[in-house]
Structure 1
Amino acid sequence: MKTVPPIHRIALLFNGNKIYDRGIISGIGNYLSSTRASWDLFLEENFLCRLKGIEDWQGDGIIADFDDPAIGKALAGTKLPVVAVGGSYEDERAYPRHIPYVATDNFALIKLAYEHLIEAGLSRFACFSLPVAETNRWAQQREKAFRRLLQRDGLPVEIYRGLETSAPLWDTAVEQQIAWLHSLPKPIGIIAVNDARARQLLQACLTAGIAVPEQVALIGIDNDPLTRSLTRVPLSSVIQGTESMGRTAARLLHQMLHGMPSAGTQILVPPEAINVQTSSLHQPLGDAYVMQALHFIRQYACQGIKTEQVANYVGVSRSSLESHFRRELGRTVHDEILRFKLTAAAAGLENSRAGIAEIAQDCGFKSAQYLHTVFKREFGCTPREYQHGHGAG
């Protein structure tokens, strides 16, 4: 006779609005679906408002985001098995005592971004962080990692925290970011401590007319699809190992529920990879006209711009701009516009379930048939074949 595994009531204390937390929750779900663990999950979006009394919750175990100190304090008195998830720390004393802890490797995140920018041919670097706060300890750890790496390599350390993100401070924050960007040597690679900060800085670059990635190559952390959809220049980002963190945390709690000791266990989870997009694909260019033109094209190619509009933006004649492009890049302005639109279409086909006609329209092609023709010529396959080959659609 088969034994039925016991059903355990488990609380997940995470913020479902954050891509980081959602990745961990997804990893927990993947663990449950691949094992005989049977959990009844308690997940509340606004759990921070209901932390009072959580230590008396009548369940069997808790997995919680310990990046917010309030959570650690609220759970200090609980008798239930708890697995903590959060950022890694240089100082061992920063970890909760007697609780297993699954951490994203902050040093490895920054190192991967830094090495990517080095491979792009850059030799000057900066970090865009957040104001110091108890809830931003992970950002301060990423600052420390950045500082360690640059000091190791004998390079100047440039860290800018700026203002917190809020509507009343937004205009002032952007003005200060632009001033900071103007003060930096160019070209430069900038690592933002998360995608939200990267998006803000990318917007400041576009507002100030600073070419991305020729003058500023930018990379974030989180690989947040929402952030990517809000930027005119596609944003490169480090993909955290959040699903692996979630699976590891669930495995630890599963073991604890069955009497296996895990107190004090610390597991560092490295990043998965980098989603390389336009914002960090630095190309050393000596021609200021071409740099300005590329800055304009990357923002507006998918809106159906023509060569004449690019030339007007740069302030030279069409024939003169074409001459600069052929000399610097070996291709025409039209070729560059089409190249960017095709890259955007390919990304849409890979990452979206939208129809071919919708993707064609979003990427500035006059019809799905025209996209089909150009795609077949440049990639050797149809958009539909490409979409199926990359798992979308």
Structure 2
Amino acid sequence: MKTVPPVHRIALLFNGSKIYDRGIISGIGSYLSSTRVSWDLFLEEDFSVRLKGIEGWQGDGIIADFDDPAVEQALAQIHLPVVAVGGSYADPQAYPQHIPYVATDNGALIKLAYEHLIEAGLTRFACFSLPEAQSNRWAQEREKAFHALLKRDGLSGQVYRGLSTSAPLWDSAVEQQIAWLHSLPKPIGIIAVSDARARQLLQACLTAGIAVPEQVALIGIDNDPLTRTLTRVPLSSVMQGTERMGRTAAKLLHQMLHGLPSTGSQILVPPEAINVQTSSLHKPLGHPYVMQARHFIRQFACQGIKTEQVANYVGVSRSSLEAHFRSELGRSVHDEILAFKLTAAADSLRKSSVGIAEIAQACGFKSAQYLHYVFKREFGCTPRQYQQTTPVTR
């Protein structure tokens, strides 16, 4: 006779609007689908965290985001098995006591981003963080990790926290970001504590005409696909091990529900990898005209710009700009524009199944036939063949 596993009622206290929290929830789901565990999950319909009355919730266990101080405080006196999830701390006393804690390794996240920028040939570094607050403890821990790495290597670097994001402060925040960016020595590598902060700084660079990645090489943390769609320059980002964190937290709670003793131990989960994109691919260029031109091309290549428009932006004659491109890069301005358009087209073909004509238009080609011609010339296959044989990435 088959035994049916007991059904446990489990509350997940996470903010589903954040890519970090969604990754952890996904990891919990992955654990459930790969085991015989039977859980009735409680989540708010809009994936928000509402704590009112949680102390009286008649369930069997809780997995919660302890980066939110309100969550930690609300669960301090609850008499249910609880597994905490959050950021790591340099001070062991900062962790909640007597509760298992699954942590993203903040030190490892910053170290991976830092080493990536070093490999790009950079020797100057800065960190774009968040204002100091209890809800931003994870960001301050990333600042500490950044300072520790620079101290280890005998370097100095700036940490800039800026203003919190809000509509009334938006203009002031951008103005202050631009002023900070202008004050930095160039070239410089900047680690943002999250993709959301990285996107803000990337937009400030574009507004101020600061070339990314030639003058500022930028990398975020979270690998948020939504953020990537909101930036003209593709954003590099460290991929946190959130799914692994979710699976680990679910396994710990599963064990506690079956009588294994609860401990106050911490499990640190390292990052998975870096999704390397244009924003951090620093390649030193000798001439400022070429740097400015590529900055303009990177933003507007897919809008059908011509060499003359690029020269006008830089403020030099077309022939002069062409000479600098030939000397510096060994190719023409037109070749550079076309290369960016083809890269964008290839990226669209990997990520979607929309029609070739639509992709051609979106990437600045005058027709699907012309895209077909140059794509086959450069890639050795047609756009349709490329779309059918290349694994889809999101």
What's the TM-score once normalised by structure 2's chain length?
0.96
Counterpart in 1 of 2:83?
Answer: 83
Confirm or deny: 8 A CA contact 1:8 1:38 kept in the other structure: yes
Letter aligned with residue 178 of structure 2: I
Counterpart in 1 of 2:141?
Answer: 141
Counterpart in 2 of 1:241?
Answer: 241
Q: Which runs of 5+ in 2 are unaligned?
A: none
Confirm or deny: 8 A CA contact 2:290 2:321 kept in the other structure: yes
Q: CA deviation at 1:308?
A: 1.1
3-state secondary structure, aligned to 1:64: strand
Q: More deviation in 309-318 or 253-262? A: 253-262
d(CA) in 1 for partners of 2:142 and 2:217? 18
Letter aligned with residue 386 of structure 1: Y
Query: Does residue 8 of structure 1 match 2:8?
Result: yes
d(CA) in 2 for partners of 1:257 and 1:353? 45
Q: CA deviation at 1:322?
A: 0.8
Counterpart in 1 of 2:224?
Answer: 224
Counterpart in 2 of 1:101?
Answer: 101
Q: CA deviation at 1:145?
A: 0.4
Give CA deviations for 1:69-125 in whole Å, capped at 9, x if unaligned.
110111111111111110000011111111111100101110111011111110000
Counterpart in 2 of 1:165?
Answer: 165
Query: Does residue 292 of structure 1 match 2:289?
Result: no
Give CA deviations for 1:335-368 in whole Å, capped at 9, x if unaligned.
1111112222222233334443333322222233
Give CA deviations for 1:295-349 in whole Å, capped at 9, x if unaligned.
1001101111111111111111111111100100111111111111222222223
Query: Does residue 208 of structure 1 match 2:203?
Result: no
Confirm or deny: 8 A CA contact 1:151 1:157 kept in the other structure: no
d(CA) in 2 for partners of 1:107 and 1:128? 16
d(CA) in 2 for partners of 1:5 and 1:49? 29
Counterpart in 2 of 1:183?
Answer: 183
3-state secondary structure, aligned to 2:234: coil
3-state secondary structure, aligned to 1:207: helix
Matches within 5 A, 1:335-374: 335-374=335-374
Letter aligned with residue 175 of structure 1: E
State how many pairs are aligned: 393
3-state secondary structure, aligned to 2:2: coil
d(CA) in 1 for partners of 2:225 and 2:287? 33
Q: More deviation in 295-304 or 369-378? A: 369-378
d(CA) in 2 for partners of 1:41 and 1:353? 34
Confirm or deny: 8 A CA contact 2:235 2:279 kept in the other structure: yes
Matches within 5 A, 1:101-120: 101-120=101-120
Counterpart in 2 of 1:316?
Answer: 316
d(CA) in 1 for partners of 2:340 and 2:75? 51
Counterpart in 2 of 1:333?
Answer: 333
Q: Which runs of 5+ in 1 are unaligned?
A: none
Q: CA deviation at 1:374?
A: 2.2
Distance 1:360 1:214, change over 3 A: same
3-state secondary structure, aligned to 1:191: strand
3-state secondary structure, aligned to 1:35: coil
Q: CA deviation at 1:249?
A: 0.8
Counterpart in 2 of 1:150?
Answer: 150
Distance 1:253 1:352, change over 3 A: farther
Distance 1:292 1:47, change over 3 A: closer
Letter aligned with residue 158 of structure 2: E
Q: More deviation in 164-173 or 51-60? A: 51-60
d(CA) in 1 for partners of 2:208 and 2:45? 38
Counterpart in 2 of 1:307?
Answer: 307
Counterpart in 2 of 1:69?
Answer: 69
Confirm or deny: 8 A CA contact 1:289 1:321 kept in the other structure: yes
Confirm or deny: 8 A CA contact 2:113 2:238 kept in the other structure: yes
Percent identity for Structure 1 against Structure 2: 83
Q: CA deviation at 1:286?
A: 1.2
Confirm or deny: 8 A CA contact 1:15 1:45 kept in the other structure: no
d(CA) in 1 for partners of 2:83 and 2:390? 36
Distance 1:10 1:388, change over 3 A: farther
Give CA deviations for 1:118-145 in whole Å, capped at 9, x if unaligned.
1111000000001001000000000000
Letter aligned with residue 38 of structure 2: S
What's the TM-score once normalised by structure 1's chain length?
0.96
Give CA deviations for 1:261-311 in whole Å, capped at 9, x if unaligned.
242131111111111111111110110110110110011011111111111
Letter aligned with residue 94 of structure 1: A
Confirm or deny: 8 A CA contact 1:223 1:239 kept in the other structure: yes
Q: CA deviation at 1:47?
A: 6.9
3-state secondary structure, aligned to 1:44: coil
d(CA) in 2 for partners of 1:165 and 1:157? 24
Letter aligned with residue 196 of structure 1: A
Q: CA deviation at 1:63?
A: 0.7
Distance 1:384 1:244, change over 3 A: farther
Letter aligned with residue 258 of structure 1: H
3-state secondary structure, aligned to 2:308: helix
